[in-house]
A and B are shown apart, each in its own frame.
Chain A
């Protein structure tokens, strides 16, 4: 009796791809190509032939931002239910099939998007495209599946947020930073609202937002554009487009009061201090402010030669760690700085030192040399990011669903290279307004 093991099949199919030659290096960030299907699905292909592997990511332009009032967490809940069966594939089968084919998979929900992805051997691409296309339009949401999964997301919230004082405080800080904008909502949902999420809520969210004309498909790896186009036409092409609403447009009112949050917890050892400011989105004013803020965050907090680390950790010995970050979304953004005090150093001293650094920045500016050094590092990081297949697909997908074009992504290193010291200072003055920041302080409980 002859038996062909699945391993053998995998091996023989892979041989077909060995003779594909290596794509020459390009000056662009990625060697990506884009096209659209007639149903509106945008497809991006990034051929990368280093290994016979491929990553599929489907990005929906719907996330926690789009959770209806009182239903926070529903976008994330739908993400979980996407693994619980379609008309063609029973509950649990999706993951079993991917796993039996040696694949890796996951999904995640952000304010602006929900993304699903698999990495498989290149010859298994068709299989995962078929499965992913199925759940773009054929998801089944039953009470039987909803009931245990709701408990799963509640446990996920406890693991990620409720058991972690710093995450709890971040969540509260966000809710205060954005006065009107839905970015104030935690993607996982408020526990009080999660308990009330039901099958109808999930069906409603899915029916509203999951459509080919509201999605971006990114395929990166050992493929060519013609083959992806043919597979996309076969599996995604027949899915009919649907009218999808615009994301609710909310103008964020100016923040006129400095705000301070303090939380005391029995489960932290040392205090932590942070301050967040409202900031421009990815795309505001053509994306220029976002690029300048990226450079500013690196000057203040990128690594151990950066300003904040040098001042607070090395020179003044006040902190054990410090940093800065710019988090842009589709229609707003935040810029934050943080520090953890050294043992015995008061939060007041940390706050004074951080405020002094910001004042120094605003009064003395940044030097051209500082800007040049940071720009070089950021451009090198763009090169490093090409080393990971899923990293490449993630950068492209996240940019496209938050309002940037593929050309914008390709030109990122050049755009960063064009940022000037004057532009950095202009966004610094616009964003770092002491009377409009939200300061959050985490304090350990006093023990007797």
Chain B
């Protein structure tokens, strides 16, 4: 009987080292094709499905000035016609083969996910190959997708949550690509042409920037052949490009966009921590206790459970490649915005001054260790993990390493990182709504001016 190696991998994720006689259940393997394309693979034949996650380093932060939105538009257009297939033919083929193909652009990377029934794997990988190497960028498809992106941008100018996010990032990073929208602006979008998108593909899709994670019903041998066929013809090197290191603008702000809605949407944050920082795990524990998901964090307890002031409140660490952010959100009735901000600042201060209790520390650590493997319950999420492990240089033994690193976090570590990161007097706060009785707020227009 064949042992599911995914189960082996997941058991490893749970913090186990398996030694089953001679057979060590070694979950993750590196597969190298003859032309040198590599992927990390978790082989699992429980279901006849394969998930592939791929990523090229370098995202929308590399969009040239005046061409903001270039990476986003190009990625959206990859499955709108490629090779001999126009958009409709390509999409019909994808849908008839029950292939699920998604592309996306973030600030630091572009990439996507492909899922297929293993019976259709050859055709599915061929479609991915066409999309990456021969996208057509037909004029009619460009116009259609541009109008879809423009519609989203216009919606974003009216949606309170999107406005609050955009203004926070725009004012925190006034001189850096992180302060721009990945999708660009209506003006920059209008100017993008097929030649710009072709240049993007030629410059960015290099094998030296490619990272791949594969999970599911496929053997290393078959995957190696498909890697060659799919990615082997990409250029060996992407064009040289760099994004500057930066940090969020480190000054308190209280900005209000007036909008007559019944509930104010509030975003808040300050400088955070990058993924490679030695204090990363201590910061994770800190955030979980102060502002983590679930009903048990200090912010949720004070704002939601005790006072009923919000449905949800929370914050998280956003480790971008060139800056770290600690960023959160809450929505509350207009006449209680001031109270919520008082609680937020008080909890920020209390944590900085007093740190966590031993009970909180223990509880947060067991949650962070135990819930992580439970979040990897699909082949797609696991494939995503395989990519981030490689991109962040975390190694195949990451999950054991992660559990050990979290278990080793002590009260003093969390106190130290809290003193370093939490400053109630430097919180940048953006409110969209009709808050009442707020002191010291600066009014700002929805477009950020």
Instruction: Using CB atoms and an 8 Å cutoff, list the residues of chain A in contact with chain B.
Output: 5-7, 10-11, 14-15, 18-19, 21-22, 25, 48-53, 83, 92, 95-96, 99-105, 119-121, 147-156, 158-160, 162-163, 266-270, 303-305, 310, 313-314, 317, 320-321, 340, 342-343, 373, 376-377, 380-381, 383-384, 386-390, 444
Neighbouring B residues of A25 by C-beta, 8 Å: 46-48
List 20 other contacts, CB 8 Å, given A21-B1, A51-B373, A340-B151: A10-B369, A18-B7, A18-B20, A22-B2, A22-B7, A83-B295, A99-B367, A99-B371, A147-B308, A155-B311, A155-B331, A158-B311, A269-B154, A313-B144, A314-B88, A320-B147, A343-B147, A373-B95, A388-B377, A444-B158
List the count of A-B residue pairs having beta carbons below 8 Å apart.
Answer: 224
With A10-B15, A10-B370, A158-B263 already in contact, the answer to whether A100 and B363 are too (CB < 8 A) is yes
The 7 closest A-B pairs by CB, nearest first: A102-B370, A151-B308, A380-B98, A148-B308, A269-B154, A158-B263, A51-B10
Per-position binary interface string of chain B over residues 262-288, scored 1 when its CB falls under 8 Å from any chain A CB and 0 otherwise? 110100000000000000000000000
Complex contacts, B369 vs chain A, CB 8 Å: 7, 10, 102
Indicate which residue in B47, B151, B263, B374 contacts A270 across the interface (CB closer than 8 Å). B151
Binds A, one of B65-73, B299-307, B314-322, B348-356: B299-307
Report the nearest B residue to A96, measured CB to CB. Answer: B296
Tell me, rounded to whole Å, the shortest Cβ–Cβ distance linking B218 to chain A.
Answer: 15
B367:A100 contact, CB within 8 angstroms: yes
Please name all residues of chain B whose beta carbon is closer than 8 Å to the beta carbon of A340 when the two chains form the complex: 151
A267 to chain B, nearest CB (A): 5
CA distance A48 to B160 in the complex (A): 42
Given A158-B263, A304-B91: A14 and B308 interface contact (C-beta under 8 Å): no
**Assembly CA distance A15 to B16 (angstroms):** 8
Within 8 A of A (CB), among B293-340: 294-296, 301, 304-312, 331-333
- The listed residue (B2, B16, B46, B261) touching A267 by CB distance below 8 A is B261
Q: Is the CB of B371 within 8 A of A383?
A: no
Q: Which residues of chain A come closer than 8 Å to B311, judged between CB atoms?
A: 152-153, 155-156, 158-160
Tell me which residues across on chain B come within 8 A of A154, comparing CB atoms: 308, 333
Report yes or no: A343 in contact with B88, Cβ–Cβ below 8 A.
Answer: no
Q: What chain A residues lie within 8 Å of B92 (beta carbons)?
A: 305
Q: Which residues of A contact B95 (CB under 8 A)?
A: 303-305, 373, 377
Query: Is B362 an interface residue when CB atoms closer than 8 A count as contact?
Result: yes
Q: Given contacts A5-B407, A159-B312, A343-B147, are A381 and B14 in contact (CB under 8 A)?
A: no
Q: How far is the CA of A380 from the CA of B307 in the complex (A)?
A: 47
Cross-chain contact B407 with A7 (CB below 8 angstroms): yes
B444 CB, min distance to chain A CBs, angstroms: 17
State whether B4 touches A50 (Cβ < 8 A): yes
How many Å from the CB of A203 to the closest CB on chain B? 19
Can you list 26 A-B contacts with CB-CB less than 8 angstroms, sorted by A residue number?
A: A7-B407, A10-B369, A11-B16, A14-B11, A18-B7, A19-B20, A49-B7, A51-B10, A52-B10, A53-B374, A53-B377, A148-B307, A158-B333, A162-B262, A267-B261, A269-B151, A269-B154, A305-B95, A314-B87, A342-B147, A376-B96, A377-B98, A380-B117, A388-B377, A389-B377, A444-B158
Complex-state Cα separation, A92 to B48, whole angstroms:
42
Which residues of chain B are within 8 angstroms of A119 by Cβ–Cβ distance?
Answer: 374, 377
Query: Is residue B3 within 8 Å, beta carbon to beta carbon, of the partner chain?
Result: yes
> Does residue B378 face the partner (Cβ distance < 8 Å to A)?
yes
Flag if B154 contacts A121 (CB, 8 Å).
no
Please tell me if the beta carbons of B6 and A50 are within 8 angstroms of each other in the complex: yes
Judged by a CB distance under 8 angstroms, whether B221 is at the interface is: no
A18–B117 CB distance below 8 A:
no
CB distance from B103 to the nearest CB of A (A): 14
Contacts of B376 in A (CB 8 A): 51
Tell whether B226 is near chain A: CB-to-CB under 8 Å: no
Within the complex, what minimum Cβ distance (angstroms) separates B294 from chain A? Answer: 5
Docked-complex contact A103 and B374, CB < 8 angstroms:
yes
- Please pick, from B154, B265, B371, the residue contacting A163 in the complex, using a CB distance under 8 A: B265
Q: Is B259 an interface residue (CB 8 A)?
A: yes
Name the residue among B143, B371, B375 with the largest chain A CB count within 10 angstroms: B371
| Complexed CA–CA distance, A305 and B148 (Å) | 17
On whether the beta carbons of B305 and A387 are closer than 8 Å, the reply is no
Residues of B contacting A305 in the complex (Cβ-Cβ under 8 angstroms): 88, 91-92, 95-96
- CB–CB B7/A163 < 8 A: no
Instruction: Collect the chain A residues with CB atoms within 8 Å of residue B309's CB.
Output: 151, 155
Which residues of B sit under 8 angstroms from A320, Cβ to Cβ? 147-148, 151
Residues of B within 8 A of A15 (CB): 16
Within 8 Å by CB of B98, from A159, A381, A390, lies A381
Determine how close the nearest CB of chain A comes to the CB of B171; give it in whole angstroms. Answer: 22
Say if the beta carbon of B227 comes within 8 Å of chain A: no
A101 touches B377 (CB 8 A): no
Give the residues in chain A near B295, CB-CB below 8 Å. Answer: 83, 92, 95
Q: Does B236 contact A (CB under 8 A)?
A: no
Chain B residues closer than 8 Å to A158, beta-carbon distance: 262-263, 311, 331, 333
Our pick among B16, B310, B380 for the contact of A387 (Cβ within 8 Å) is B380
Known contacts: A22-B7, A152-B304. The answer to whether A100 contacts B366 by CB under 8 A is yes
Can you list, as one digit per residue, whether each of B76-98 has a CB less than 8 Å from chain A (1) or not (0)?
Answer: 00000000000110011001101
Contacts of B49 in A (CB 8 A): 383-384, 387
Residues of B within 8 A of A121 (CB): 14, 370, 373-374
The distance in angstroms between the C-alpha atoms of A102 and B363, with both chains bound, is 9
* B370 touching A101, Cβ below 8 Å: yes
Task: Given A7-B369, A14-B16, A51-B10, verify A383-B117 contact (CB < 8 Å).
Answer: yes
**What's the minimum C-beta distance from B357 to chain A, rounded to whole angstroms?**
13
- A303 to B: closest C-beta gap in Å: 5
Chain A residue nearest in CB terms to B363: A100
Within 8 A of A (CB), among B1-45: 1-4, 6-7, 10-11, 14-16, 18, 20, 44
B260 in the interface (beta carbon within 8 A) = yes
Enumerate chain A residues within 8 angstroms of B48, measured Cβ to Cβ.
25, 383
Task: Determine whether B115 belongs to the interface, using a CB cutoff of 8 Å to chain A.
Answer: yes
The residue on B at minimum CB distance from A55 is B377
Q: Does B197 sit at the interface, judged by CB under 8 A? A: no
CB distance from A317 to the nearest CB of B (A): 7
Q: Does B414 count as interface, using CB distance less than 8 angstroms?
A: no
B7:A267 contact, CB within 8 angstroms: no
> From B155, which residue of chain A is reached at the shortest CB distance?
A269
Of all chain A residues, the one with the shortest Cβ separation from B288 is A99
A103–B403 Cα distance when bound, in Å, is 15
> Which chain B residues lie closer than 8 Å to A377 at the CB level?
95-96, 98
CB of B441 within 8 Å of the partner chain: no
Identify which of B47, B363, B377, B403 contacts A383 (C-beta below 8 A): B47
Give the CA-CA distance A429 to B49 in the complex, in Å.
37
Give complex CA distance A103, B373 in Å.
10
